[in-house]
Structure 1
Amino acid sequence: MSTLPKYMTIYTDLKQKINTDFYKINEKIPTGDDLAIEYDCSKLTVKKAIDLLVKEGMVIRRRGSGTFIKGKSTNGGAIALGPTSGLISTVGKEHITSKTYQFSIEKPSDEIAEKLEIRDNGYVYKIIRVRYVNHAPYSVEHTYMPLSVIIGLEPKHLENSIYNYIREELGFKMQRAHVWVRGDKVTVEDCKLLDVDKDTFIMEVEKIAHLEDGRIFEYSLTRHDYQNFVFETVFVQN
């Protein structure tokens, strides 16, 4: 069961619908009454969710007319990714392509085993792939997942969303992620795979992700050209 407050669940769903053109720019969204019925909640809960979208500049209220879509992300041409969001769920499947450079099963290094809390000679999937948004290089992903947790992962799953495979086919729920964001110097691999020059500044996201039952299912390092990178989160006071 989700640990997010109801209004945050609604906020996240509406935001995704805006970012994936379910609701288009300048379109009027359903009324508070209609959304309350759709999400099975009170109008006050809907209002709290929409208030967050108003603060982010994604929707605008017009007195006597309703609430309208003002824009997708407030981050210019960049894409805002949250701690547990996947690229497809944020941008939309039709805009994303992937190219896999490595997909192997191997014994992890001591460092990776420690990150994933692997013991007793466990093995991991090692995945290196480049993600493209509208055919332009967006990120290089180095991902490690334990075989004992993520069962049956195949190369075909890497072409779309690994997270969708985990949710829809394995039936797992993702609960939380510990994320570190840092700047770094460009590497030879970055230059080649992201098609950037040697003076480009790189943003790196390190992530350890947990399932609802507490098991770690992913350790990853994702590298972005700084010009195309925004990391987004929302802090909620309980």
Structure 2
Amino acid sequence: MIDKSSPLPIYYQLEEQIKKQIESGELQPGDMLPSEREYAELINISRMTVRQAMNNLVDDGYLYRQKGRGTFVAEKKVEQELGSLTSFTEDMKARGLVPSSKLLSFEIVPAPEKIANQLQIKEYAPVYEIKRIRLADQVPMALEIVYASANLIKGLTEEKVNHSLYQYIEEQLHLKIGHAAQSVEASIASETEGEHLNIRKGSPILLLQRNTYLEDGTPLEFVKSSYRADRYTFTIHIKRQ
């Protein structure tokens, strides 16, 4: 309900009202909102005020626009805590989502110099190169490329990769995963990334690189991932030392 006598700006009140409708489930992902003109006439405010509220909600990821169609409720973003070392499968299950993967390629290749350095193995030593799309509730979330030593992770197959790689490593090979170093940077989607993630070329994405190690310090994997910025957000808790 908009209170024109309130000291809070009307555009802010409208934003909060729409947010509450989204968070309560009254407005569902994919629902189309009334037009700026309809909102303005319904509440008896200016279209400029409505536009400011809508723009802010689009910028904050609550809404998205489709040219010539209108404004719609966006899908909720998936959050991942950067301070914990979990697999994509574990993350999605913890959030009540159904994880799955679409395997693009699975092969053993000779390690190029850069990959050999990351895994601390000899150049041209055999490594798994795994390319896959990671999905949550059948929605593409990330395009991922994993490199791991074939001499360390023995017996890996396409079937095992399609489940949880970490689960196989810890439960079947009895290797204990220790820690990881990860970097995140903003980028835009290439044509290939856009095609696999169902987004337009040039859309914002998050690029991740992760080096994962066993408890004894042995490099386990080197991972490069492209995450949809409209569906994924990374959080971290920082403690003052």
The TM-score with structure 1 as length reference comes to 0.64
Aligned to 2:184: 181
CA distance in 2, matches of 1:237, 1:174: 27
TM-score, normalised on structure 2?
Answer: 0.63
* Contact residue 78 and residue 227 of structure 1 kept, 8 A: no
Secondary structure of residue in 2 paired with 1:85: coil
Whole-angstrom distance in 1 between the partners of 2:105 and 2:201: 23
Question: 1:190 and 2:190 equivalent?
Answer: no
Taking a change above 3 Å as real, the CA distance of residues 169 and 232 of structure 1, as seen in their structure-2 partners, is farther
Q: Does 1:133 find its partner at 2:161?
A: no
Q: How many residues align?
A: 163
Deviations 1:146-182 (A, max 9, x none): 0121111110012111011111111111111011101
Cα distance, 1:142 vs structure 2: 0.5
2:89 corresponds to which residue? 88
Residue 101 (1) aligns with residue 108 (2): no
Mapped contact 1:115–1:208 kept (Cα < 8 A): yes
2:185 & 2:235 partners in 1: Cα distance?
14
CA contact (8 A) 1:81 1:87 kept: no
Larger radius of gyration: 2
The alpha-carbon deviation at position 88 of structure 1 amounts to: 1.5
Q: Which runs of 5+ in 2 are unaligned?
A: 1-75
- Where 1:157 maps in the other structure, the secondary structure is helix
**Please, what is the CA RMSD of the aligned residues?**
1.9
Q: Displacement of 1:197 after TM fit?
A: 0.5
Which residue in 1 is equivalent to 2:38? none
Please give the residue correspondences for 1:36-75 in structure 2 after superposition, counting only pairs within 5 Å. Answer: none
Separation in 2, partners of 1:120, 1:205 = 24
Identity of counterpart residues, as a percentage? 23
Q: Please list, as runs of the form range in 1=range in 2, the aligned pairs for 1:4-43 lying within 5 A after superposition.
A: none
Counterpart of 2:183, as a letter, is: W
Which of residues 215, 220, 229 is equivalent to 1:226? 229
